[in-house]
Amino acid sequence: MNVGLSDADLAPRIAAGDREAEAEMCRRMVPRIRLYGLRHLRSPSAADDLVQQVLLKILEALRAARLREPDKLAQFVLGTCRMTVLDLQRSSYRQEELLATFGGDLVPDPPPMPRLDDRRLARCVQALKERERSVVVMTFYDEQTAAETARFLGISEANIRVIRHRAIQQLRACMGATL
């Protein structure tokens, strides 16, 4: 019913009490919020917590018609994600209050992460040139910065990025990625 609506169309419907619009908004936003959480919190469970907190805040705001420009729903969600990540170290009181108000049952399951063929990936990495393999291993072991890897190789950070990009491109081709 609401699947064909834009994000902007959903906001006024939620304000009008349309529960299906709420569910559609949650369905759309959960994967996006979770990706933001994975990127900034580096933990699936922390990302799931973020999803719940952000959705509750957004639903509260939308139900109260506090979003004055419905076409800026995505920006509103992004801003709420940022504020929530910054607030994560604070008291959990607010979260508990919101959970008591709305409950957590509106949060659908996030899309599953793609599965990777680990053995094939190992073969692809071993097939890289020596320099590229070194950059890949040192970059991803502990997400070492380009500056640290550049110091080891005695080349510029820009060159490290070029080598890394080239290696990733080759790995994606070797893994059969089509994107």
Partner 1 sequence: MTTPHLGGPNDCPNPIEAAVLMDYWLAALPSAAEEAVEQHLMTCDGCGDRLREVIAMAEGLRALARSGSLQVVISDQFVKHAAETGLRVREYAPPRGEGVPCTVAADDDLLVARLAVDLTTASRVDVSWCDPRGIEHQRMPDIPIRAEAGSVICQQSITWAKASPSVTMIARLFAVDEKGDERLLGEFTFHHTRTIPGPPGWELT
Q: Which residues bind partner 1 (CB under 8 A)?
A: 3-8, 10, 28, 31-32, 35-36, 38-39, 71, 73-75, 77-78, 111, 113-116, 118, 121-122, 125-126, 129-131, 133-146, 148-149, 151-154, 161, 164-165, 168-169, 171-172, 175, 177, 179
For the chain, helix, strand, coil in percent to 5 are 70, 0, 30
Name the minimum Å distance from CB 41 to partner 1: 12
Grouping H, G, I as helix, E, B as strand and the rest as coil, residue 42 is coil
Name the minimum Å distance from CB 145 to partner 1: 7
- Nearer CB in complex with partner 1: 90/165: 165
Cα gap 6→100, rounded to integer Å: 30
- Nearer CB in complex with partner 1: 109/118: 118
- Nearer CB in complex with partner 1: 3/100: 3
CB atoms within 10 A of CB 139: 20
Residues 50-81 as b/e (b if ≥16 CB within 10 A, e otherwise) read bbbbbbbbbbebbeeeebeebeebeebbeebb
Name the minimum Å distance from CB 78 to partner 1: 5
- DSSP annotation of 142 reads T
- Nearer CB in complex with partner 1: 91/115: 115
